[in-house]
Structure 1
Amino acid sequence: MGAAHMQEYYRGKTEERGRNVLEDEEKKSWAESFLEQLNDPLIFILFVAAAISLLLREYGDMAIILAVVLLNATVGVIQEGKAKKSLEVLKQMTSPHALLLEGDEVRQIPAADLIPGDLVVLEAGCQVPADLVLTEAVNLKIEESALTGESVPVNKDTAQNRMAYMSTNVTYGRGVGRVSAIGMDTEIGKIAGMLKAAKVELTPLQKRLADLGKILGTVSVFLCVLLFGMAILQKRDVGEMLITAISLAVAAVPEGLPAIVTMVLALSVSRMVKANAIVKRLPSVETLGCVSVVCSDKTGTLTQNRMTVKKCYVNGRVHAVKELHPAGDRYFLQGFSLCNDASLHGGERRGDPTELALLDMAAAFGIQRETLEDTMPRIDEIAFDSERKRMTTLHETLDGRISFTKGSPDEILERCRYVWSNGKTAAFSAAAREQAKRGLAEMTEAGLRVLAIGMHPKAAQMEESGLTFLGMAGMEDPVRPEAAEAVEQFARAGVRTIMITGDRADTALAIARQLGIAERRDECVTGEEMERMDEQMLAARISRTRVFAHVSPEHKVRIVSACKKNGEIVAMTGDGVNDAPSLKSADVGIAMGMAGTDVARNAADMVLADDNFATIAGAIAQGRSIYENIRKSVLFLLSSNFGEIITMLAAVAMGLVSPLKSSHILWINLITDSLPALALGVDVEEQKDYMNRPPRHRDESLFAGGGWGCTCFYGLLIAGISMLAFLQVPVGMIEGAGMTLTLPHLQAVLKDVQVLARAQTYAFTVLGMAQLFHAVGMRDVETSVFCMNHLENRLMLAAFVVGIGLQLMVTEVPYFVQLFGTCRLTALEWTKLLGLAAMPLLAHELLVLFSCAGEVKDALRLQGED
């Protein structure tokens, strides 16, 4: 079988052999995603409560519980779907093609259709579509930063450096290669395969909520056992106490919490999408709020991945580029333009980044290579060679021939006998040569990549000796302006920025100084130094390290692991395939959407659609705000539910009938565990500056900073006023009858069905409305409600009004009065009950007042000491 027929045969077997694509993460079905949303301890507790309600034929209770569970799961599935669609759009934007060589014909095909043995043409500007063994290479340079992290293109040939790797970019020259590996068999595919072995850890919020679920589950079981014990001791009806126990179990579990958390995260994700950040996993938004270290790839993330000439050495000293003179320095500008194979023609940038930078420099002074070659055409050349470290071009002019030689400063200086200075030629004296070397040292110490240029003004043929030294150009990959601002913002927020790069230490440290990341050499560790460290040594050193230079993909994973070993919560940014394992191992992996590879985007938790590093600072602030809002919602829900539990337990312990029916508790939870809790979860709180605070610790409890005290205080207060409301009716009856207020008399009066119904209505009404007032104060426990901007949170206003309206409905609308077993109330009764229900808000104001008074007292004391 001929070669052509063999290739056609194998191409027909593509489905059997596998296509030239990297495997995505296994896609979950809708059902799998839905079931995953239900895998939560709080959800399990609610299922148990629903099952018990079904056994007792409390169908309304069961319906409410299941509706909350289904809402929570549906929101989570929808949000995951939105994130996947956004990522698919990004993926389609970067779908590569290949130039297939068949005989003398070249045709373009999708890169996914390549098979081993195909011949592929490479040219400047294209992406390598598979792993190739080069069979031809003419001045071929390939930028492999996506694979190795090195920002400088690599010279390729057909002898020693003959491999071209999938997803790398051709920056210069041309070549032909035979496909040696496709898809997951490529070098990049092997790195992608490493990601499947990475363990996905729970986020801090997921851990805290899981712990809370276990606590609430334990509390529910304990309450049920306690109540049954009381029923036996008090010789009560066991069936009645079972219903009461279920009511308490439901009260102990804030059934709205999973839905609230999911909806808060989903709404926050939607806001972040508008700010060009696509979140793949909802909890990752909150995790950003406790990030203490941002490990960032340098090339293309902190820098623009576009070389720019920053300094020049001409006329015996180092100049800024803008100080060049088109007339006096014309040979310097012409030489770098003509001894150059890059192109800016028609606005299209093609070629080596360093050569493009030289063309940009000349173009800033009106010198265009294409125009210049009309009067100074190239007639011969010696191409750049990695061993020679220089290239030479020969040009025809009206005054004769002239040659330019560009390359390594050491190579060019060695071949120069003269120097062009201030518009004339002079002998290149030892002093002038030494001065040039000092200029070279000054630029290299600043982290610049330096190229030198020399000329032979009367070259009869190609000459690379006896040259006239024209000068040197120092280039750098400029930092992103927004990156420097973000690093400064991170520092104020107590977040360390660690820069990770494949570049040399001096180059990396120079960039780090510009960004404000590091200043001293001892803040930098190289890959070679890392090799000599074990895990313990690296973890000890990393706390004072800000830059890692000349590192490999394996080093990046070790860096993330060392940070996590020290208790840090790590965000890792990157765009290349070499970043993918560390993106996966970090607490939050952040990939670049435009310049990033598919592998990096698949590994990340969040994708920046605009590749703007500063977007991360906004995401961290958003994450901190989200956590505080979720914490407020949790404390509000638990303190409210704690109030319900204490109310029920106190009445049962006194031997009284239950002050609340199970339907009352579910109704209160419906109006307070939904809109008010959600309003707290999406609170704006513009007055809070979260980026001027240190990040919270990984193990910090939801109840840290006085959370338990807040829960217990408001829970006891709500229980107290609810019991007070419940006892108002029987106490009034006893006092009206002139009887002594005793427990037996209370028990006897409450046996009257009408008295009990009105007493329960009082308790039901106060308990529901007290939680609404409590929600308003929980917006900010340190600020008076009179100082809050309530228009910032219109949802809270709506929740309060709707809650009062719903509570009014169950006592005034005949159908609901009969359904809930309540009594209609007079305007005077409503006034009294509203005043009683407002006690949590009054307590909030008193606590704020005492806190402010204490702060003033401390300030005056400190002023007196001064």
Structure 2
Amino acid sequence: MWYSKNSDEIIKELSSNEVNGLSSNEAKSRLEKNGLNKLQGKKKKSMFQLFLAQINDVMIYILLIAAIISIAVKEVSDAIIILIVIFVNAIIGVIQESKAEKALEALKNMSTPKALVKRDGNIIEIQSEEVVVGDIVIIDAGRYIPADLRLIEAANLKIEESAFTGESVPSEKNSETNTDNSELPIGDQHNMAFMSTLVTYGRGVGIVVGAGMNTEIGKIAKMLDAEEDNTTPLQKKLAQLGKTLGFAAVGVSILMFIVSMFQGRDFLEMFMTSISLAVAAIPEGLPAIVAIVLALGVQRMIKENAIIRKLPSVETLGSVNIICSDKTGTLTINKMTVKKFFVDGTIIDLDKIDINNKEAKLLVDGMILCNDATSKDGKQTGDPTEVALIEVGNKLNILKEDLTASNKRINEIPFDSDRKLMTTVNNYNNKNTVFTKGAIDSILKISNKILINNEVKEFTKDEKDNVLEASNKMSDDALRVLALAYKEIDNNNIVVNNLETDLIFVGLMGMIDPPREEVKSSIDVSKNAGIRTIMITGDHKNTAVAIAKDLGIAEDISEAMAGSEIDTYSDDEFVKIINNYKVFARVSPEHKVKIVKAFKAHGNIVSMTGDGVNDAPSLKAADIGVAMGITGTDVAKGAADMVLTDDNFTTIVKAVEEGRNIFNNIKKSIIFLLSCNLGEVVALFVAILLNWPTPLQAIHILWVNLITDSFPALSLGVDPGDKGVMDLPPKAPNESLFAGRMGILLIINGILIGATTLIAFVLGEKLYPDSLKHAQTMAFVVLSVSQLFYSLSMRNERKSIFQIGFFKNKWLLASIAFGILLQFAIITIPFTASIFKVYSLSLYDWGIVILISLIPFVINELIKVIFKSKK
């Protein structure tokens, strides 16, 4: 632990020299031995490897075998259709995968291009990749830290570390040795500077103690590299479904083939019929349909300010029951804001400030004049704390530019982390006035009077106690407290040594990075939807709990745990207690991953939101990682599944609602396709068992599977969302696709579609006893059209089509009309009729097949009415 070692001891241990630095030869030797100071990543997969990964699925294997056999028996058209589906599905997967996994690339690009180091007694500028352990590095404001450093010198040094710590204000640094040998979080290592963080104030000198992958950011890179891909619930279910259907199809086909052999049928004819049955049992278009529905959902979500990087994440959102959210920039606005002030012995909310009150006016003016930051036209520079003070003036129409122009600065004493004070001398109201702002304890030490009700009084112990009590009340609300004091001096007394003495205390200002206004209502919506919000932050425990209380996440500090407490539990012990806590403060990247995994161990579907480098490993470990698009680092975006373009927590809740509706629509599409395929299996298998002629040709089945029922399935995938979906709890992670009545409806409708197809076939044989082709045509049309009508009933499993609105889904109506038109064209146009081996139907025939095709739709609507009346 470098922070607990003396700097001289470290310089000696690393064989360096504080004055001269390393020699050029020694630096070259270390560079050759340890390699460049950059982050490494694992070898990326080629496009071909990604393509092979997409077809590594049981369902795809069975389809490939079917295609090969089709070619062998010269049924080339069947094989071509199967191969097209496989290819399109694989290409969609490759496109999505090739856009993913850019986190390590972003980490590499975060390294600073140049660094100032001491070599051979000279200060030179080198590429950051050439920095080695033992180098003496010079740092100043505006420069990135090139490697992990143990500070040797620090003068008013502040470093922006929010990407690591989650804190919204820069960390103050010093070179003092930390005598505490316990494990400290990054935010408390005040004598350390870390690779890729930014110096915002002051200057310093440090010795490199870690480079490349041995830095804190390198550790995060390793965690990202090691974290395995998570398979989403939908992917798992579809994979299992594919295996089940594949084995079932093969089993049924073998059984039917054996039966047909006992019946003495033609070997080749029954072999092709068995293959047709296998093809009928497997929904070839299912992967493509699901991918397209997800892609359409992604387009809708972009309009809601959510960019989905990985298609299956849309479905995962609908299952989320825990949102682990970073505080800074996600639940809060990531901007220090003054909320309360204290003058005349009273704490008052900022919006109730009376600027005509002399003490209040003096407090605001003094805080603005004793300030080096700027804030104009929405653009800010300088320390966030000082920017917050200027923003108070902007709200009250007291602009810094005007105030400083009429009250010019004459002298100053810059802020110092040891004094915790900043002082300026201004010609204020034509009098030389000293303004000193700083920490409350530092101001109290140098103040002997107090301004109350326009009178300057002695600063008695009672008055000081009142001020301390007010400061403590603000601190209890997690406010960062700054105090202001002043005094008037004559022109001959502007001596720096006398400025910070005998001051008159004016008042206090309390500030915080406040919650976003819309977040609280979004958390309430989440609660109503059965979703828990967990706050995870690098900030202090009290600050985190105050924000959590305000947002309704937690009720008291007993529901909060610090990172140091997490370390006291093993992984198994932590899993047992994780549900008792809603706030986790002062955490490291390792802690965040541990928290996410502990929640997942209870079977939860966990979303993790964040914006910093420190969030990347946990974003990747979560079921769905959500990164901020505006304030988020490239690393966080690269590791996330979803990126918010407005950095708004409310968008996550909208995305969850959209995810639930999309999953419901996917479920409708899947049940619809499986019902249709089951109907085909029923029709073929029953006909074979009863020793009937084959009612359908192989090409009929492929046409219906890949063309006719694909358009309704897609239209169901874009069905208008259910407005009450967020009034229901999240679906269980292990919930079957056939949960509720869906499984029963699948079987009922499969039998109905199969039965109506056979009815049409038998009726065709009776009407046209000398024409098998005529009977097969009627069966073919009924199989197709009955599925089209049946899709109307699939829009809602409980409500009638007339309750939810017959014309609400215009895409579905268009699909049905288009499907019937296609079917009419196929059997009417001579060229297509010869390919499909069908017969042109008369107007009388069409009347019969339409009436038969309506049977599944009518029965489904009647079932809904019966269930509703019973309920």
Asked if Structure 1 and Structure 2 have the same fold, meaning a TM-score greater than 0.5 normalized by the shorter chain, the answer is yes
What is the match of residue 555 of structure 2?
519
1:705-724 matches, cutoff 5 A: 705-724=740-759
CA contact (8 A) 1:141 1:352 kept: no
What is the match of residue 854 of structure 2?
838
Shift of 1:561: 1.4
What is the match of residue 241 of structure 2?
212
1:473-622 matches, cutoff 5 A: 473-622=509-658
What residue identity is the alignment partner of 1:642? L
SS of alignment partner, residue 255 of structure 1? coil
Shift of 1:15: 11
CA contact (8 A) 1:295 1:573 kept: yes
What is the match of residue 290 of structure 1?
319
SS of alignment partner, residue 304 of structure 1? coil
Shift of 1:204: 0.2
Q: Distance in 1 between the 2:820 and 2:169 partners?
A: 67
Shift of 1:324: 4.0
The superposition leaves residues 216-244 of structure 1 with CA deviations (integer Å, 9 ceiling, x where unpaired) of 01101211221122123323333322111
The superposition leaves residues 336-394 of structure 1 with CA deviations (integer Å, 9 ceiling, x where unpaired) of 234334344786523222122122224444545565555452424264224x4444445
Shift of 1:313: 0.8
Shift of 1:778: 1.1
Shift of 1:182: 4.7
CA contact (8 A) 1:146 1:167 kept: no
What is the match of residue 143 of structure 1?
160
Tell me which of 783, 796, 803 is aligned to 1:780: 796
Q: Distance in 1 between the 2:441 and 2:551 partners?
A: 30
Shift of 1:439: 1.6
Q: Distance in 1 between the 2:716 and 2:390 partners?
A: 57
TM-score in terms of structure 2 length: 0.88
Tell me which of 285, 290, 311 is aligned to 1:256: 285
Q: Distance in 2 between the 1:51 and 1:812 partners?
A: 31
CA contact (8 A) 2:156 2:202 kept: yes
1:221 partnered with 2:250: yes
Shift of 1:479: 1.5
Shift of 1:551: 2.1
Q: Distance in 1 between the 2:828 and 2:605 partners?
A: 53
Of the structure 1 ranges 689-698 and 250-259, higher mean CA displacement relative to structure 2 is found in 689-698
1:395-410 matches, cutoff 5 A: 402-410=433-441
SS of alignment partner, residue 571 of structure 1? strand
Q: Distance in 1 between the 2:860 and 2:173 partners?
A: 72
Shift of 1:245: 0.8
Q: Distance in 2 between the 1:324 and 1:125 partners?
A: 38
What is the match of residue 259 of structure 2?
230
Q: Where do 5+ consecutive residues of structure 2 fail to align?
A: 1-18, 178-189
CA contact (8 A) 1:171 1:353 kept: no
Of the structure 1 ranges 181-190 and 37-46, higher mean CA displacement relative to structure 2 is found in 181-190
SS of alignment partner, residue 547 of structure 2? helix
What is the match of residue 272 of structure 1?
301
1:155 partnered with 2:172: yes
1:667 partnered with 2:697: no
1:689 partnered with 2:724: yes
CA contact (8 A) 1:326 1:333 kept: no
SS of alignment partner, residue 419 of structure 1? strand
Shift of 1:400: 6.5
Q: Distance in 1 between the 2:315 and 2:849 partners?
A: 39
Q: Distance in 2 between the 1:15 and 1:672 partners?
A: 65
Q: Distance in 2 between the 1:42 and 1:370 partners?
A: 70
| Cα gap change, 1:363 to 1:5, in 2 (>3 Å) | same
The superposition leaves residues 435-460 of structure 1 with CA deviations (integer Å, 9 ceiling, x where unpaired) of 22332232122121112222344476
SS of alignment partner, residue 157 of structure 1? coil
Shift of 1:680: 1.5
What residue identity is the alignment partner of 2:792? V
| Cα gap change, 1:667 to 1:385, in 2 (>3 Å) | closer
CA contact (8 A) 1:97 1:108 kept: no
Q: Where do 5+ consecutive residues of structure 1 fail to align?
A: 734-748, 856-866
What is the match of residue 198 of structure 2?
169
What is the match of residue 184 of structure 2?
none
Shift of 1:706: 1.3
Tell me which of 333, 336, 355 is aligned to 1:325: 355
What is the match of residue 385 of structure 1?
417
Q: Distance in 2 between the 1:792 and 1:94 partners?
A: 49
Tell me which of 715, 737, 748 is aligned to 1:679: 715
The superposition leaves residues 133-181 of structure 1 with CA deviations (integer Å, 9 ceiling, x where unpaired) of 5565331111212112334432223444443212323333344556665
Tell me which of 34, 38, 57 is aligned to 2:55: 38
| Cα gap change, 1:562 to 1:81, in 2 (>3 Å) | closer
What is the match of residue 842 of structure 2?
826
What is the match of residue 187 of structure 2?
none
What residue identity is the alignment partner of 2:78? D
| Cα gap change, 1:196 to 1:80, in 2 (>3 Å) | closer
| Cα gap change, 1:152 to 1:5, in 2 (>3 Å) | closer
Q: Distance in 2 between the 1:415 and 1:31 partners?
A: 72
Q: Distance in 2 between the 1:21 and 1:480 partners?
A: 37
CA contact (8 A) 1:500 1:556 kept: yes
Shift of 1:808: 1.5
Shift of 1:490: 1.4
1:436 partnered with 2:467: yes
Q: Distance in 2 between the 1:224 and 1:606 partners?
A: 43
Q: Distance in 2 between the 1:401 and 1:105 partners?
A: 45
Q: Distance in 1 between the 2:865 and 2:148 partners?
A: 70
| Cα gap change, 1:132 to 1:91, in 2 (>3 Å) | closer
Shift of 1:124: 4.3
SS of alignment partner, residue 607 of structure 2? strand
TM-score in terms of structure 1 length: 0.88
Shift of 1:464: 4.1
What residue identity is the alignment partner of 1:553? P
What is the match of residue 281 of structure 1?
310
SS of alignment partner, residue 766 of structure 1? helix
What is the match of residue 447 of structure 2?
416
The superposition leaves residues 520-539 of structure 1 with CA deviations (integer Å, 9 ceiling, x where unpaired) of 22322222333344445433
Shift of 1:643: 0.7
What is the match of residue 55 of structure 1?
72
Q: Distance in 1 between the 2:599 and 2:161 partners?
A: 27
Q: Distance in 1 between the 2:35 and 2:145 partners?
A: 19
Of the structure 1 ranges 792-801 and 418-427, higher mean CA displacement relative to structure 2 is found in 792-801
Q: Distance in 2 between the 1:828 and 1:3 partners?
A: 102
What is the match of residue 9 of structure 2?
none
Shift of 1:260: 0.6
SS of alignment partner, residue 518 of structure 2? helix
The superposition leaves residues 558-581 of structure 1 with CA deviations (integer Å, 9 ceiling, x where unpaired) of 211111111110000111122122
Q: Percent identity?
A: 44
Q: CA RMSD in A?
A: 3.4
The superposition leaves residues 266-297 of structure 1 with CA deviations (integer Å, 9 ceiling, x where unpaired) of 22223333443332221112111100000011
What residue identity is the alignment partner of 1:71? V
What residue identity is the alignment partner of 1:639? S
Q: Distance in 2 between the 1:52 and 1:159 partners?
A: 77
